[in-house]
């Protein structure tokens, strides 16, 4: 079952910052990396039960890794999946 993907303002800010930071060094890499992140998030919209569960954050929270970042999403009402943050992993 496909769900609609909704980006929160925080997630939009996060992805723009990632794109700009990488783009300062290599604009082509920034575009490729953005496309990889987008593809991972889109796959979670198609397969909402994919990704590692993190109920300690939200009951329906899922996490994807696109190193060195982790992407957190949660399922909400009306078949929507919200991307709520992208964080750089320290590992």
**Where do the structural domains in the chain lie, given as residue ranges?**
4-88
As a whole number of angstroms, the distance between CA 45 and CA 30 comes to: 23
As a whole number of angstroms, the distance between CA 25 and CA 14 comes to: 18
Q: CA-CA-CA-CA torsion for 17, 15, 89, 82, nearest 10 degrees?
A: 150
As to burial, measured by CB atoms within 10 angstroms (0-12 exposed, 13-18 middle, 19+ buried), residue 44 is buried
Class of domain 4-88: alpha beta
The whole-number pLDDT of residue 89 equals 61
The whole-number pLDDT of residue 67 equals 84
How does residue 43 score in pLDDT terms, banded at 50, 70 and 90? confident
Percent with pLDDT over 90 in the chain: 22
pLDDT digits 0-9 by tens, 49-91? 788 888 887 777 888 888 888 888 877 766 565 665 666 665 4
The whole-number pLDDT of residue 23 equals 96
Residue 70 DSSP SS3:
strand
Which pTM was predicted?
0.73
The whole-number pLDDT of residue 19 equals 93
Q: How far is CA 46 from CA 1, 11, 50, 51, 87, in A?
A: 6, 19, 9, 12, 22
């Amino acid at each position: 079952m496909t769900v609609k993907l909704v980006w929160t303002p925080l997630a939009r800010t996060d992805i723009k910052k990632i794109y700009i930071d990488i783009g300062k060094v290599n604009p082509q890499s920034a575009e490729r990396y953005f496309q990889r992140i987008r593809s991972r998030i889109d796959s979670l919209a198609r397969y909402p039960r994919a990704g590692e569960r993190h109920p300690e954050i939200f009951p329906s929270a899922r996490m994807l890794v696109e190193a060195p970042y982790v992407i957190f999403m949660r399922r909400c009402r009306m078949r929507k999946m919200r991307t709520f943050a992208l964080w750089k992993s320290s590992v």
